[in-house]
Amino acid sequence: MITEVHFTEVHFTAPEEIMALLDGELAADRARLVTAHLEECAECREFAEILRSGAQAVLSWTLPLASANPDFGKRLADAAREVTVQERSSGISRWSAYHRRHWVAKAGVAALLVVVALISLRPMMMMKNEREASLGISPAAPTAPAPTGLNIREQLGMAGPQDRFTTNDGREEQRLSIEELKAQREALIDRLQEAQISSNLAVSPSTTLSPSPTEQSQPMIARNVALSIVVKDFDFSRGAVDAILARHHGYAASLNASTQQNAARSLQASLRVPAGELNAAVAELKSLGHVENETQAGEEVTQQHADLVARLMNSRDTEQRLQAILLQRTGKISDVLAVEQEIARVRGEIEQMEAEQKSLEHRVAFAIIDLNLAEEYKAQIGSASPSISTRLHNAVVVGYRAAVESAVGVVLFVVEYGPSAIVWLAILAPLTWFLYRRWTRATSLVS
């Protein structure tokens, strides 16, 4: 490349500036100076001539006249006219044109959103329908008479001047706004649910701790309540729970209290309360603080209990008959032994069923309250915390362990995956090298 200097003098301009001057790209003040220098410096003038002749040589590369496709020019003019006409006739903005182009994508997104909404709403709708069905209320027929002879809302003290339900005495339905109707309907459902729970509790054999199954003509329901309560005074609430249990003749089946330092304290307990006193006990527990979550469930075990009692009676009859056979009949020793074995088997079954019966009756007699008590934690400035030296020591130990663990982890990783990596490298490296060579060769060919 020509970069050697054959000038005998020091020049006051860079060669690039001479080139820029010839190209008309030099600022006016510098152009004046460079022009003046060119007038004085023969070598720079010669260099300028070299540049000019080089440019002339380059421009000798001419192309023949292109045989342009006349059809394309005509089609392009038509397309330009069409574009202009479309713009005029539609008058649609760029934004709407963009949206029009992407309507398929947007329709797909909308359909996806609808499907997601339906999927997410379906369980809620099903739960609502089940709840209403269990209460005997059809959402499609809000004007249906209440199941009892009287208006049930009157019984619940909710009947007002704007009651939309038709009463049995022929009062006409009054028109209300949709929002009011919905609100009243939700309130009615809640009240009915509570009323049903109360009635279930009332008819459950809860007043006696060991109800007689033969006297059970009403449904047996095992109650289960879950409560999550946030309390301000944890110590007081902890004592209050014990007091409530004592007052309602209940007990704690399990209790787990967590009192960590500098953290909110909590208590998880599984309480057993006589079913008849469940409502009162729950109400007192709820008064301890803010209820965050409450769940009530009831399992009807009437059929299961009746079946168990019947099987127990049969087994007892069988046992009596076997004992009569053993006492009254005579026979071989083997026969006697067989009868005794059969008596032992039946006796075992009877005892097992008696235990099941007791357990079942206990579940009905004692409702379960799963209580989760959490403290509303407030951090305290003066709370005791580990000293700085202890924390420093712990940090050093933890850091040391982490360093060792990470080093061991790296070694394990290399040992575990190293052989596989070597194998794959051996397979892929030649292929990659081959593709790279072809790529570079193609690049050089094309450019």
Beta carbon of residue 131, minimum distance to another protein (angstroms, whole number): 57
Q: Does 68 bind another protein (CB under 8 A)?
A: yes
Q: Does 4 bind another protein (CB under 8 A)?
A: yes
Binding window for another protein (CB under 8 A); candidates: 75-83, 169-177, 209-217, 240-248: 75-83
DSSP assignments along 398-422, one per residue: HHHHHHHHHHHHHHHHHHHHHHHHH
Among 47, 165, 234, 366, binds another protein (CB under 8 A): 47
What would the x/- binding string for another protein be over residues 89 to 118, using CB under 8 A? -----x--x---------------------
Q: Does 306 bind another protein (CB under 8 A)?
A: no
- Residue type present at position 165: F
Percentages of the chain per state (helix, strand, coil), in multiples of 5: 60, 10, 25
* 330/334 Cα distance (integer angstroms): 11
Phi, psi values for residue 271, rounded to 5°: -105, 150
Q: Does 389 bind another protein (CB under 8 A)?
A: no
Binding window for another protein (CB under 8 A); candidates: 19-27, 130-138, 143-151, 250-258: 19-27
Q: Does 73 bind another protein (CB under 8 A)?
A: yes
Strand order of the β-sheet with 366-375 is: 251-258, 266-274, 366-375, 221-231, 290-300
- How many residues make up the chain in this entry? 447
Residues paired with residue 296 on neighbouring β-strands, in sequence order: 225
Q: Does 178 bind another protein (CB under 8 A)?
A: no
Residue among 214, 216, 231, 221 nearest 198 (CA): 221
Q: Does 434 bind another protein (CB under 8 A)?
A: no
Q: Does 18 bind another protein (CB under 8 A)?
A: yes
Beta carbon of residue 95, minimum distance to another protein (angstroms, whole number): 11
Strands 251-258 and 266-274: antiparallel
Q: Report the residue number, 76 or 115, with the smaller CB distance to another protein.
A: 76
Phi, psi values for residue 172, rounded to 5°: -80, 150
Q: Report the residue number, 62 or 389, with the smaller CB distance to another protein.
A: 62
DSSP assignments along 71-116, one per residue: HHHHHHHHHHHHHHHHHHHH---HHHHHHHHTHHHHHHHHHHHHHH
Q: Report the residue number, 88 or 378, with the smaller CB distance to another protein.
A: 88
Q: Report the residue number, 34 or 285, with the smaller CB distance to another protein.
A: 34
* 151/186 Cα distance (integer angstroms): 17
Q: Does 45 bind another protein (CB under 8 A)?
A: no
Q: Does 28 bind another protein (CB under 8 A)?
A: no
Among 28, 72, 215, 334, binds another protein (CB under 8 A): 72
Q: Report the residue number, 96 or 352, with the smaller CB distance to another protein.
A: 96
What would the 3-class secondary structure string for 257-284 be? EECCCCCCCEEEEEEEEEHHHHHHHHHH
Applying CB under 8 A, the residues found at the interface with another protein are: 1-7, 10-20, 23, 25, 30, 33-34, 37, 40, 43-44, 47, 50-51, 54-55, 57-64, 66, 68-69, 72-73, 76-77, 79-81, 83-84, 87-88, 94, 97, 435, 438-439, 441-443, 445-447
